[in-house]
Amino acid sequence: MKKIYIKTWGCQMNEYDSSKIVDLLKQNQRYVLTKEPEKADILLLNTCSVREKAQEKVFHQLGRWKKLKQNNTNLIIGVGGCVASQEGEQITQRAPYVDIVFGPQTLHRLPQMINKCCNSKNPIIDISFPKLEKFNNFPKITAKGPSAFVSIMEGCNNYCTFCIVPYTRGEEVSRYSNEILLEISQLALQGVREITLLGQNVNAYRGMNANGTICTFSNLLRLVAEIKGIDRIRFITSNPVEFTDELIEIYRENPKLVSFLHLPVQSGSDRILNLMKRSHTVSYYKSIIKKLIKARPNIQISSDFIIGFPGETRNDFDQTMKFIADINFDMSFSFLYSPRPGTPASDLPNEITYEEKKRRLYLLQSLINKQAQSWSDRMIGTIQRVLVDKVLRKDMKEISGKTENNRVVIFKGSHNNIGKFVDVKITSNNVNFLKGTLINEVLK
């Protein structure tokens, strides 16, 4: 059997896409996944363009793979994802040993691209935007554990000045609701108990129902909650502007929706939010959180922060720190601003030194880590519902799983609990994970 090695960078959407690529090539061309690039017949890199120097990171990896290509002229190297969409043929110009370049919307065409590649000396490049075509060409749904990602929409229409996503993933397009529900139902039949709905702007979902009407994100959540076997629902990533009162009401009425929300804000300064072209203010964001807490008093919030955006003063940063303390965020994705080529913010003057950016990021992450540990400490002595997903050490009979608020809990128990919800009493906080004692085995 031929072997495929795939390296994935970036968001959960990329993880989802990579899993589909593996399933697609397994079904169409009998490829099997390998963890050793040296043994692969095809090497794929699924890229992300959000972080600093994303392109250089790609070419450094390709440089390492070049040596493998020199030793095996039949080896196929492909680059996909957002950097592929952004750079296109420049990838093959700079790295002529790359055979295939594909975008996030054309990954389903990989089997055909591979066939063409075997019969052609020229690289195959397809970074077009055929909207929902890829979802109609995915292979049979296969579960890989008790939790699963399901993509419900792609792209973004917000065009924040720092963000490359609308240019690499395209504008918003939503899948048909019946296709999403069918995919989740098939996963549930295979033992999946937790679903995470994915989208670049997931709560902007507006999919077509079978009768021609529009299904809002709130309606979709209600429909997913009705699927037998699905007991826990998450979604990522959402936008404050699309966080409607109807969506907040779901938290009041449906316990399957977890008491944990990732809601990106990016800054605690209205002036910086305006420069970022974020369509919300700090007070508006706080009003959402206030309503959420009223609907779900135990909810915990995580967020995204960009530090050192062009023009960010110390006062702007101080406002962000105060904002973080006011909300009492639990966890964050926070990183230094770096210009993405082609975005409006890349033309803004940035007089903040790299050292100052690093100092601010350190202070911000220290505050959020302190708050996250405080949230974990509060869990000691409580009983948490845990979805068991791993056997850690068979000799010790240690297993692990996740709570609603994304904490990993390690405790002693039987492997028969894998894929089940159990009750665990939290006994200690070990910084990166919690430890606990099993109370009830195999609840459901």
pLDDT at 126: 95
Residue 184 near residue 224, CB atoms below 8 Å: yes
Phi-psi region of 66 (alpha: psi -120 to 50; beta: other; left: phi over 0): alpha
Q: What is d(CA 104, CA 173) in angstroms, rounded to the nearest whole number? A: 13
Cβ neighbour number for residue 116 with a 10 Å cutoff: 16
Contact 54, 47 (CB under 8 A): yes
160 has binding-site annotation: yes
The pLDDT of 100-122, averaged and rounded, is: 90
**pLDDT at residue 140, rounded to an integer:** 82
Tokens of 326: 């006011």
Asked if residue 100 has pLDDT above 70, the reply is yes
pLDDT digits (tens, 9 = 90+) for 160-209: 999 988 988 889 999 999 999 999 999 999 999 999 999 999 999 999 99
pLDDT attached to residue 350: 85
3-state helix/strand/coil string of the chain? CCEEEEEECCCHHHHHHHHHHHHHHHHHHCCEECCCHHHCCEEEEEECCCCCCHHHHHHHHHHHHHHHHHHCCCCEEEEEEHHHHHHCHHHHHHCCCCCEEECCCCHHHHHHHHHHHHCCCCCEEECCCCHHHHHHHCCCCCCCCCEEEEECEECCCCCCCCCCHHHHCCCCEECCHHHHHHHHHHHHHCCCCEEEEECCCHHHCEEECCCCCEEEHHHHHHHHHCCCCCCEEEEECCCHHHCCHHHHHHHHHCCCECCEEECCCECCCHHHHHHCCCCCCHHHHHHHHHHHHHHCCCCEEEEEEEECCCCCCHHHHHHHHHHHHHHCCCCEEEEECCCCCCCHHHHCCCCCCHHHHHHHHHHHHHHHHHHHHHHHHHCCCCEEEEEEEEEEECCCCEEEEECCCCCEEEEECCHHHCCCEEEEEEEEECCCCEEEEEEECCCC
Over range 324-341, report the average pLDDT. 93
Give the predicted TM-score (pTM) of the model.
Answer: 0.92
Q: What number is the average pLDDT over the span 9-32?
A: 89
Statement: 380-438 belongs to CATH 2.40.50.140: yes
Average confidence (pLDDT) over 213-225: 97
How far does Cα 186 stand from its chain's mean position?
22
Residue 82 annotated as part of some ligand binding site: yes
117 is in an annotated binding site: no
How confident is residue 426, by pLDDT bands cut at 50, 70 and 90?
very high
For residue 141, the model assigns a pLDDT of 84
Sequence spans of domains, the chain: 2-126, 133-378, 380-438
- pLDDT of residue 18 exceeding 80, the answer is yes
Mean pLDDT over the full length of the chain: 93
For residue 108, what are the CA distances in angstroms to 38, 57, 291, 430?
25, 25, 41, 42
Range 112-119 average pLDDT: 88
pLDDT at 139 over 90: no
| pLDDT at res. 11 | 83
State residue 442's pLDDT score.
Answer: 63
Check pLDDT > 90 for residue 396. Answer: no
Average pLDDT over residues 298-304: 96
pLDDT of 444 reads: 62
Q: Are 293 and 251 in contact (CB under 8 A)?
A: no
pLDDT grade for 443, boundaries at 50, 70 and 90: low
Q: Which long-range contacts (CB under 8 A, 24 or more apart) does 96-99 make?
A: 96/123, 97/62, 97/66, 97/69, 98/62, 98/123, 99/123, 99/124
Under the banding of pLDDT at 50, 70 and 90, the label for residue 135 is: confident
Of 47-51, 105-109, 287-291, 310-314, the one with minimum mean pLDDT is: 47-51
DSSP β-ladder status, 260-262 and 300-307 = parallel
Q: What's the rounded mean pLDDT across residues 355-360?
A: 96
Most confident by average pLDDT, 105-109, 270-274, 344-348 = 270-274
Domain 133-378 has CATH 3.40.50.970: no
How much is the average pLDDT of 342-369?
Answer: 94
The pLDDT of residue 52 is 67
Q: Say if residue 54's pLDDT is above 80.
A: no
Burial of 357 (0-12, 13-18, 19+ CB in 10 A): buried
Q: Is the pLDDT of residue 393 over 90?
A: no
Record: fold of 2-126: Rossmann fold (3.40.50)
**Sequence-distant (≥ 6) Cβ neighbours of residue 328 within 8 angstroms:** 301, 371
